Structure 1
Amino acid sequence: MPTADNHGVSLHYEIDGGDGRDGEAETVALVPDACYGAWQWAWQYDALAGPFEVVTYEARGTGRSDEADSYRIEEQAADLEAVLADAGVRKAHVVGAGTGGMVALQYALDYSRARSLSLLGTSPGGPRATPTPPAVRERLRAGRDDPESLRTSLDAVAGDELLETEDLVERIVAWRAAEDATREVQRAYFDAADAFDVSDHLYEITVPALVMVGTDDRVYPPENGRLLADQLPNGELVEFAGEHLFFVERSKEVNDALVGFLEAQSDD
């Protein structure tokens, strides 16, 4: 696995796919949610890696990437820039979930490689955003060395359909134990998300943007996605039944919308 460096923070990434475009595939960069490893994209990867070249990476403090002194969203956007630059990617469709969607928004403001944005269950921050309820935030806290906390924290992000599929829950718990952030890093990620605010700059993000929300999302309530789609100059909103991990629970519908959007941008 290649590594990129952002001011001493080593970031592991992979680049693959694109076989369906005869060597002319455009690139999709997948930006993970706070504290989650690359496992979270297992439900989207196969749908994307045929028509597109796909870059996945382990965010700072997760997987084999280095921990860091700071986890501000601006620094996470710089991590993405370091990865794409190291991979030789000139332009990318940036797909971010949760806090990764915040990173995608910041990236579009700070750098020039984003061709489009796909934002799954995220928020622009700021005074008009609906915050994560404290009880939900507390429920999210989990340690990768504590399987029970990893299991119970899924209650805040998943619906009954996922939670009642015991073999899937056990697989996710195993992935999280291997790849997710420590409790200390998790707190830093949550603090960074709380401080994030690009609400006064959304008009500057003119690339096409697909905003997807789970109508039962308690982490970033759907009002945030509706606000984003309304304020982004080229924003488009699609809603799905489900919790924060709606892109897992409704993966087929989400993938159809995501691939359709990305292919439309590629045809432009």
Structure 2
Amino acid sequence: MTEILTQDNIPLRYVIQGSGPTIVFVLGYGMTLDEWPGRMISTLATSFRVILYNHRGVSGVMNPSVKFTIPQGARDLYDLVSELADGPVHIVGYSMGGMIGLEFAIRYPDLLDHLVLISSDCGGSECITRDDRVTEEMGKELPDIEAYLERAGRLLLTESFRKKHPDPMSWFVDHGEVADPRSVIEQYEAFETWEGVYSNLHEIRKPVLVITGDRDIVTPPQNGAIIADAIPGAELVVVEDAGHGVIFQEPVRVGNIISRFLS
């Protein structure tokens, strides 16, 4: 296992694939680095040096004095970039990872080259919130992996995709390490209590791409337009008939969209 240490000595597991300009992928809620869609990552690793890493606590090592928050996630990302890159990097943040990407862009602009936000929002009162029933569903503890898989399919994937792919085992084919449950609880509290960065979005002067699915029920797609309108020159791509899990529904397509943007 390859790790870097944060400033408070918490190990962050990471892997590197490919060579070229560096892209750092920032995980969404409850994920581990093994869960990034392999076909999306391999599409990009042909032209880029791709770094995947785990958030603090995911692998079980936690610091009771330093909770995981969205700003803390940006500080951990700073530690990772400082250790593994020689200069500015491309950041790709999915869902909660996009929130961390926005914090990083505002706090550490000199370390950012391009920013890609997928299925994310800017937080605060300006963002469009999900239905209460979706929030309630996300916070439930379930009895077994099959129940978690079924819920993930309902929340992340469109009904038409599930009908086309009726075997749940085909929905999320890339997996390995399982996130420590304590870290998942901290992450949930982190994005639910995040104050957001809407008032600072105009400060971001690097190229930004926002990708959203038009049927996202976890992060309503209007949030993509809110971010893109507030960041000077930002580009918005809306993927039709895609949910919050657009990266799982369309891994190669999303990889190609990112590649074209970064190139």
**Contact conserved, 1:90 with 1:113, CA < 8 A, in 2?**
yes
Aligned-residue Cα RMSD (Å) equals 2.0
Please tell me the residue identity of whatever aligns with 2:169: D
Match of 1:49 in 2: 45
Of residues 120, 123, 126, the one that matches 2:121 is: 123
Alignment CA distance shift 1:212-1:170 (3 Å): closer
Alignment CA distance shift 1:41-1:85 (3 Å): farther
Match of 1:259 in 2: 259
Give the CA deviation at 1:110: 1.1
Alignment CA distance shift 1:258-1:88 (3 Å): closer
Ranges of 4+ aligned residues in structure 1 off by more than 4 Å: 142-145
Ranges in structure 1 where 5+ consecutive residues have no aligned partner: 19-24, 264-268
| TM norm structure 2 | 0.88
Alignment CA distance shift 1:26-1:144 (3 Å): farther
Residues 119-149 of structure 1 show CA distances to partners (whole Å, capped at 9, x for unaligned) of: 0000001212111322112222466983133
**Contact conserved, 1:92 with 1:113, CA < 8 A, in 2?**
yes
**Contact conserved, 2:29 with 2:95, CA < 8 A, in 1?**
yes
Match of 2:166 in 1: 164
Give the CA deviation at 1:261: 0.1
| TM norm structure 1 | 0.87
Give the CA deviation at 1:92: 0.6
State the SS of the aligned residue for 2:36.
Answer: helix
Distance 1:262 1:27 in 2: 11
Give the CA deviation at 1:213: 0.4
Match of 2:104 in 1: 107
- Match status 1:28 vs 2:23: yes
Residues 12-46 of structure 1 show CA distances to partners (whole Å, capped at 9, x for unaligned) of: 1112202xxxxxx2100000101111112423210
- Match status 1:98 vs 2:98: no
Give the CA deviation at 1:215: 0.5
Please tell me the residue identity of whatever aligns with 2:49: E
Alignment CA distance shift 1:99-1:68 (3 Å): farther
Please tell me the residue identity of whatever aligns with 2:25: L
**Contact conserved, 1:131 with 1:220, CA < 8 A, in 2?**
yes
Q: Which range moves more in the overlay, 144-153 or 196-205?
A: 144-153
Alignment CA distance shift 1:66-1:44 (3 Å): farther
Distance 2:212 2:136 in 1: 22
Match of 1:198 in 2: 197
Higher relative contact order (CA 8 A, sep 6+): 2
Of residues 51, 62, 80, the one that matches 1:67 is: 62
Distance 1:118 1:2 in 2: 25
Please tell me the residue identity of whatever aligns with 2:227: L
Distance 2:146 2:256 in 1: 34
Residues 73-94 of structure 1 show CA distances to partners (whole Å, capped at 9, x for unaligned) of: 1111111111122213421100
**Contact conserved, 1:27 with 1:89, CA < 8 A, in 2?**
no
Please tell me the residue identity of whatever aligns with 1:56: L
Report sequence identity in percent.
24
Distance 1:210 1:65 in 2: 33
Alignment CA distance shift 1:11-1:226 (3 Å): same
Of residues 130, 134, 137, the one that matches 2:135 is: 137
**Contact conserved, 2:91 with 2:114, CA < 8 A, in 1?**
yes
**Contact conserved, 2:22 with 2:49, CA < 8 A, in 1?**
yes
**Contact conserved, 2:60 with 2:180, CA < 8 A, in 1?**
no
- Match status 1:15 vs 2:12: no
Distance 2:143 2:51 in 1: 28
